[in-house]
């Protein structure tokens, strides 16, 4: 083997092709060595200044190299040099002229051999690279292979190519020369640049999706999108312009990168006849389509800005319309520093990014709608009880010494009878008219709200004396309501009564004032008075409650409480999947007492915590007995009390209860309302996180009643939300309730939360919820709350809820050549209520797709005849609406990356899989299919 260090490949760092080239040259020297040995010679081609050991001196080695290079008799080496596919040449180290070139160089560069031999190295360089070349040539020559890096060369036709230079000194024709291999890496660099650009856009998409999960206001989201685009995506500038409804001129609301003066030059209009109408952003907004300018210098729409944009390094522009509700209300603009940046693949990724942002904007709009519903009455548009209590509290806080704050509760007499006589829609019309009249009649400084049913609340600030409040009641409230109202073809005479309470005389806070005003209202109705002030004498009714309190204390000691169980049913499979534990009081004289009678009192007198602890212990004991009896149990949800959640030992109490009965934590769930966590948010969050760590699932109860916030869905680790029965009662007849239920389901699913509908009592409610993809129901339609023995029978017999035909059956195709995997996945996913098809290979999968409507496909990657990505590529062409997931124990990164780039895959998961994660991903896939296809 050739050992001369002047031709050594210098390890594995060389390009593969170049290394092979030197290996071939080395082989030529080996042939020369064998020729010499045939004539009895014995040489060692390692250069050495000593003649000992049979080695040739370095000068003889070099002479031998010269002989090999110039001797025409060495046909093998000459043929290798001239026929090698990589361009090679030899140049003179003194004149820098080419002294030999191979055929590959002639073809690749376009010069003839004679033209090459008349040229120097400088003739194939760009002018701006000559200084670098001169610096390189002035460097001392090293007697070994030298990798000079990547250079730009110019071919004869003017095309610029990038080449990786590897060279070696040698003697040629008695001249010190250098042997060069010029490996063209232009395509490789272009590919690397493309991968880098795609990676940046993927990073932008990932960052934006993370921002969507944590940001819930439009302006903050826009600011973050622009920041991510510039700092993560390396765009030169990013800005977003927005349009107000029914306004043709827009304005920039967020930007990053560049100076403020650039943003000030942006003109955003929907007018087709405007002088700025040809700008990409204006066209994108007006025509609701993406507009790409890959060369700022040549785009006529940017002509007024082109010079300054080019000076700032802005070479390409993409304008992307944002239309979350089908109407463009914003446009997003990305500016790149490279002409031609936005090709088809980048645009596909940006289109997906636009889809994500549109979804987030719709989520934000829906959240704002829910926020409105949380503080305002849908029917009348007045503030609701929550907002009224807050405003009353503000009046109290701002009251000066000597000033009173009045609280008035007004109720319409015989409203229920009127509603029954004329119909609910007429009752609603009456409430709207009353609300409008009150809002118009009441003077400034007064807050009016509808707090429920036919009851309105009014708060009056800065009262100097009682007479002022009485004047408002007589002249502005009762005189306004006690009139005739026109209700369609009917006319009704309405009469109202009121209860009054004053701060500070009747209470020092809003809650107390409302309670006392309610007591005064009930007294006025009972006594037939137009209105009454609150009086301590009204507390006589509390005597009965004191007796109940005493009996309640005895009930806990006498074990008079019992737990009933109300099943929760899955709306896909119809199976019982959980239950809620509901307490009942077996009173010795009153019989079975429902919790609404005694739980509020227990909360007031401090008994709620021991009662709640008793319920938890009773449920754990019952679950343990069922498990010991080999009964297939379901998780049972226990209602948490605010007192329990405030208890610093609460988590330990739960742990002790589970340990005492040797019950695994996943057999218990907890339900709580948001109001429970608001007194001490940090303690509540810590307790809930600790419960999650035990493996206990959490549900947010009474969602939608005005006490719930989407912010808390994310702050606390909930697994499910329960839509309050108030919205389910007439969900298929009341447009407002239907809108709330639909929005809650959609947004909970977008946060990966299950949705349970409470109080389902009719077939119509069931089918409405199924069509909206509600996950579970609870209510009398399936079963009322039943004693433990009756619920045990249900667990054993496993009754199914008759669901009726599903409009669109969720169908899943699994393709895997391993029978065990098919069997395991089939069992896992059929429990979720999906129709599951299986195939042992790609062709069989395609046959099933031709015969069945399939929404989601899971495929193994490593399969004979057709890999998973190959299969998905065909599926994407034939069935583009399907959502595709690859599940594999092997990671073919190149194939998977290519598939993701081409939009062929929704997810890539590795084996062994986590059942829970797989089920969640499949649910997300079906939801995505429904979002895309209606």
**Strand ranges, E, within 673-753:** 697-703, 720-723
Task: Answer whether 143's CB lies under 8 Å from 5's CB.
Answer: yes
Determine the Cα–Cα distance for residues 629 and 622; give it in Å rounded to an integer.
11
Determine the Cα–Cα distance for residues 773 and 743; give it in Å rounded to an integer.
11
Closest among 261, 371, 268 to 322, alpha carbons compared? 268
The two tokens of residue 594 are 């429902």
Q: What is the pLDDT of residue 16?
A: 41
Helix, coil or strand: residue 690: helix
| Residue/partner pairs of 69-76 with CB below 8 Å, 24 or more apart | 69/170, 69/171, 69/172, 70/172, 70/173, 74/28, 74/32, 76/28, 76/31
Judged by phi (left if over 0) then psi (alpha if -120 to 50, else beta), residue 297 lies in alpha
Q: How many Cβ atoms are within 10 Å of 695's Cβ, its own excluded? A: 12
- For residue 739, with 0-12 CB atoms within 10 Å meaning exposed, 13-18 middle and 19 or more buried, which class applies? middle
Helix, coil or strand: residue 126: coil
Asked if pLDDT for residue 528 goes beyond 70, the answer is yes
Q: What is the pLDDT of residue 142?
A: 75
- Residue with the bigger pLDDT between 788 and 645: it is 788
Q: What is the pLDDT of residue 740?
A: 87
Q: What is the pLDDT of residue 710?
A: 57
The pLDDT tens digits of the residues spanning 20-68 come to 444 454 454 445 445 544 444 433 333 333 333 333 333 433 333 344 3
Task: Answer whether 86's CB lies under 8 Å from 103's CB.
Answer: no
Share of the chain above pLDDT 90, in %: 32
CA 567 to centroid of chain Cα atoms: 32
The two tokens of residue 694 are 């035990």
| Mean predicted confidence (pLDDT) in 389-399 | 90
The two tokens of residue 452 are 């429920």
Task: Answer whether 451's CB lies under 8 Å from 509's CB.
Answer: no
- Residue with the bigger pLDDT between 770 and 550: it is 770
Q: What is the pLDDT of residue 869?
A: 84
Beta bridge partners of 168: 179
Q: Domain 376-452+462-536 sits in which CATH superfamily?
A: Reverse transcriptase/Diguanylate cyclase domain (3.30.70.270)
Asked if pLDDT for residue 241 goes beyond 80, the answer is yes
Is the domain defined by 811-933 classed in CATH 3.40.50.2300? Answer: yes
Task: Answer whether 623's CB lies under 8 Å from 668's CB.
Answer: yes
Helix, coil or strand: residue 291: strand
Asked if pLDDT for residue 568 goes beyond 90, the answer is yes
Q: What is the pLDDT of residue 457?
A: 95
Asked if pLDDT for residue 109 goes beyond 60, the answer is yes
Determine the Cα–Cα distance for residues 762 and 770; give it in Å rounded to an integer.
13
CATH number corresponding to 190-360:
3.30.450.40
- Per-residue pLDDT band at 73 (split at 50, 70, 90): very low
Q: What is the pLDDT of residue 833?
A: 76
Q: Which residues contact 501 (CB under 8 A, 6 or more apart)?
A: 406, 407, 507, 513, 514, 516, 517, 520, 533, 534
Task: Answer whether 339's CB lies under 8 Å from 713's CB.
Answer: no
- Per-residue pLDDT band at 499 (split at 50, 70, 90): very high
Q: What is the pLDDT of residue 76?
A: 63
Q: What is the pLDDT of residue 80?
A: 80
Instruction: Flag the least confident range among 331-335, 567-571, 601-605, 909-913.
Output: 601-605
Asked if pLDDT for residue 905 goes beyond 50, the answer is yes
Helix, coil or strand: residue 127: helix
Q: What is the pLDDT of residue 434?
A: 93
Work out the mean pLDDT of the chain and round it to a whole number. Answer: 82
The angle, 0 to 180 degrees and rounded to 10, between the axes of the packed helices 608-628 and 542-557 is 40
Q: How far is CA 90 from CA 19, 121, 133, 177, 505, in A?
A: 18, 10, 16, 6, 106
* Domain boundary assignment for the chain: 5-184, 190-360, 376-452+462-536, 566-797, 811-933
Q: Which residues contact 148 (CB under 8 A, 6 or more apart)?
A: 136, 165, 166, 167
Share of the chain above pLDDT 70, in %: 86
Closest among 468, 548, 541 to 500, alpha carbons compared? 468
Closest among 697, 779, 777, 698 to 745, alpha carbons compared? 777
CA 754 to centroid of chain Cα atoms: 16
- Residue with the bigger pLDDT between 715 and 328: it is 328
Is the domain defined by 566-797 classed in CATH 3.40.30.10? Answer: no
Q: How many Cβ atoms are within 10 Å of 471's Cβ, its own excluded? A: 11
Task: Answer whether 875's CB lies under 8 Å from 842's CB.
Answer: no
**Strand ranges, E, within 539-598:** 561-570, 576-587, 591-593
Q: What is the pLDDT of residue 607?
A: 84
Asked if pLDDT for residue 7 goes beyond 80, the answer is no
What secondary structure letter does DSSP report for 478?
Answer: I
- Tell which CATH architecture fits domain 5-184: 2-Layer Sandwich (3.30)
The two tokens of residue 315 are 């070479």
Determine the Cα–Cα distance for residues 874 and 99; give it in Å rounded to an integer.
54
The pLDDT tens digits of the residues spanning 573-622 come to 899 999 999 999 998 888 898 988 888 778 767 788 899 999 999 999 99
Asked if pLDDT for residue 808 goes beyond 80, the answer is no
The two tokens of residue 586 are 């077996």
Helix, coil or strand: residue 711: helix
Alpha helices in 300-384 (DSSP H): 303-311, 344-375
Cis amide prior to 504 (ω within 30 degrees): yes
Q: What is the pLDDT of residue 604?
A: 66
The pLDDT tens digits of the residues spanning 740-766 come to 888 888 888 888 889 999 999 988 889
Q: What is the pLDDT of residue 306?
A: 77
Q: What is the pLDDT of residue 807?
A: 53
Determine the Cα–Cα distance for residues 917 and 909; give it in Å rounded to an integer.
10
The two domains 190-360 and 566-797 share their CATH topology (first three levels equal): no
Pairing assessment for the beta strands 88-92 and 883-888 based on DSSP bridges: unpaired
The pLDDT tens digits of the residues spanning 165-189 come to 999 888 888 889 999 999 999 888 8
Phi, psi for 615 (deg, rounded to 5): -60, -45
Task: Answer whether 233's CB lies under 8 Å from 203's CB.
Answer: yes
Asked if pLDDT for residue 6 goes beyond 90, the answer is no
Q: What is the pLDDT of residue 497?
A: 93
Pairing assessment for the beta strands 856-859 and 811-815 based on DSSP bridges: parallel
Cα end-to-end distance, the chain, whole Å: 71
Q: What is the pLDDT of residue 622?
A: 96
Q: Which residues contact 705 (CB under 8 A, 6 or more apart)?
A: 724, 726
Task: Answer whether 201's CB lies under 8 Å from 350's CB.
Answer: yes
Closest among 920, 745, 771 to 363, alpha carbons compared? 745
Helix, coil or strand: residue 182: strand
Rg, the chain, Cα only: 40
The two tokens of residue 856 are 């989601």
Q: How far is CA 460 from CA 282, 320, 471, 500, in A?
A: 51, 51, 12, 11
The pLDDT tens digits of the residues spanning 690-702 come to 999 999 999 988 7
Alpha helices in 833-884 (DSSP H): 842-851, 868-878
The pLDDT tens digits of the residues spanning 675-687 come to 776 656 777 888 8
Determine the Cα–Cα distance for residues 933 and 422; give it in Å rounded to an integer.
42
The two tokens of residue 661 are 């009965």
Asked if pLDDT for residue 625 goes beyond 90, the answer is yes
Task: Answer whether 766's CB lies under 8 Å from 392's CB.
Answer: no
């Amino acid at each position: 083997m050739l050992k001369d260090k002047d031709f050594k490949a210098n390890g594995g760092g060389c390009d593969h092709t170049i290394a092979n080239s030197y290996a071939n040259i080395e082989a030529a020297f080996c042939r020369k060595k064998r020729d010499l040995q045939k004539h009895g010679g014995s040489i060692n081609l390692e250069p050495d200044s000593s003649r000992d050991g049979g080695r040739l001196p370095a000068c003889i080695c070099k002479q031998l190299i010269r002989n090999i290079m110039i001797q025409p008799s060495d046909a093998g080496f000459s043929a290798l040099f001239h026929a090698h596919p990589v361009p090679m040449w030899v140049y003179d180290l003194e004149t820098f002229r080419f002294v030999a070139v191979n055929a590959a160089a002639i073809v690749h560069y376009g010069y003839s051999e004679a033209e090459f031999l008349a040229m120097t190295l400088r003739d194939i360089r760009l002018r701006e690279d000559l200084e670098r070349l001169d610096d390189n040539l002035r460097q001392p020559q090293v007697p070994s292979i030298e990798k000079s890096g990547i250079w730009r060369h110019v071919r004869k036709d003017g095309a610029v190519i990038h080449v990786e230079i590897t060279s070696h000194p040698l003697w040629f024709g008695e001249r010190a020369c250098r042997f060069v291999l010029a490996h063209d890496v232009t395509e490789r660099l272009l590919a690397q640049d493309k991968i880098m650009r795609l990676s940046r856009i993927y990073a932008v998409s990932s960052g934006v999706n993370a921002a969507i999960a944590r940001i819930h206001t439009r302006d903050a989201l826009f600011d973050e999108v622009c920041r991510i685009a510039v700092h993560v995506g390396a765009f030169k500038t990013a800005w977003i312009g927005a349009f107000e409804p029914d306004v043709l001129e827009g304005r920039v609301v967020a930007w990053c990168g560049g100076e403020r003066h650039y943003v000030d030059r942006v003109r955003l209009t929907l007018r087709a006849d405007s002088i700025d109408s040809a700008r990409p952003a204006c066209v994108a907004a007006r025509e609701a389509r993406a507009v790409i300018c890959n060369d700022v210098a040549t785009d006529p729409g940017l002509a007024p800005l082109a010079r300054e944009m080019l000076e700032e390094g802005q070479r390409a522009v993409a304008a992307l319309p944002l239309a979350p509700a089908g109407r463009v209300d914003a446009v997003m603009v990305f500016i790149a520093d490279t002409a031609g940046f936005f090709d088809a693949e980048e645009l596909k990724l940006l289109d997906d990014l636009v889809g994500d942002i549109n979804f987030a904007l719709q989520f934000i709009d829906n959240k704002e709608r829910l926020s409105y519903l949380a503080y305002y009455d849908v029917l009348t548009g007045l503030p609701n009880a929550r907002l009224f209590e807050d405003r009353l509290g503000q009046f109290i806080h701002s009251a000066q010494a000597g000033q009173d704050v009045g609280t008035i509760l007004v109720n319409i007499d015989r409203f229920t009878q009127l509603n029954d006589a004329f119909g609910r829609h007429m009752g609603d019309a009456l409430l709207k008219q009353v609300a409008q009249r009150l809002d118009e009649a009441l003077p400034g400084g007064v807050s009016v709200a509808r707090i429920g049913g036919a009851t309105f609340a009014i708060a009056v600030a800065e009262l100097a004396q009682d007479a002022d409040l009485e004047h408002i009641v007589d002249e502005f409230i009762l005189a306004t309501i006690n009139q005739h109202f026109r209700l369609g073809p009917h006319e009704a005479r309405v009469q109202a009564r009121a209860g009054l309470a004053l701060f500070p005389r009747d209470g020092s806070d809003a809650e107390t004032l409302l309670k006392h005003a309610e007591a005064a209202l009930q007294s006025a109705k009972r006594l037939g008075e137009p209105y009454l002030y609150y009086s301590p004498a009204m507390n006589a009714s509390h005597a009965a409650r004191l007796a109940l309190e005493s009996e309640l204390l005895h009930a806990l000691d006498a074990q008079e409480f019992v737990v009933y169980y109300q099943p929760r049913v899955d709306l896909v499979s119809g199976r019982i999947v959980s239950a809620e534990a509901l307490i009942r009081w077996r009173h010795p004289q009153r019989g079975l007492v429902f919790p609404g009678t005694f739980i509020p009192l227990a909360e007031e007198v401090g008994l709620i915590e021991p009662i709640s602890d008793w319920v938890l212990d009773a449920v754990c004991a019952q679950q343990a007995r069922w498990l010991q009896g080999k009964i297939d149990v379901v998780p049972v949800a226990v209602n948490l009390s605010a007192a329990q959640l405030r208890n610093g030992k609460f988590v330990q109490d739960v742990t002790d209860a589970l340990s005492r009965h040797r019950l695994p934590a996943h057999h218990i769930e907890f339900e709580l309302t948001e109001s429970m966590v608001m007194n001490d948010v940090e303690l509540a969050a810590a307790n809930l996180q600790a419960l999650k760590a035990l493996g206990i699932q959490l549900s947010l109860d009474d969602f939608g009643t005005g006490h719930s916030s989407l912010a808390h869905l994310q702050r606390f680790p909930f697994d499910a939300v329960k839509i309050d029965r108030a919205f389910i009662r007439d969900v298929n007849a009341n447009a407002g309730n239907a809108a709330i239920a639909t929005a809650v389901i959609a947004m909970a699913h977008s946060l990966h939360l299950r949705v349970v509908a409470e109080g389902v009592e009719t077939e119509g409610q069931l089918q409405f919820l199924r069509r909206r993809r509600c996950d579970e129901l609870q209510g009398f339609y399936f079963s009322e709350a039943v004693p433990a023995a009756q619920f045990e029978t249900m667990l054993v017999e496993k009754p199914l809820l008759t669901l009726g035909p599903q409009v669109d059956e969720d169908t899943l195709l699994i393709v895997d050549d391993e029978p065990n995997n098919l069997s395991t996945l089939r069992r896992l996913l059929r429990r979720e209520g999906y129709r599951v098809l299986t195939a042992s290979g790609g062709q069989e999968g395609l046959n099933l797709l031709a015969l069945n409507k399939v929404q989601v496909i899971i495929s193994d990657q490593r399969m004979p005849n057709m890999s998973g990505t190959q299969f998905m590529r065909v599926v994407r062409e034939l069935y583009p609406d399907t959502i595709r997931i690859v599940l594999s124990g092997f990671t073919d990164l190149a194939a998977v990356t290519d598939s993701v780039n081409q939009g062929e895959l929704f997810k890539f998961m590795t084996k062994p899989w986590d059942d829970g994660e797989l089920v969640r991903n499949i649910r997300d896939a079906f939801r995505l299919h429904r979002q895309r296809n209606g």
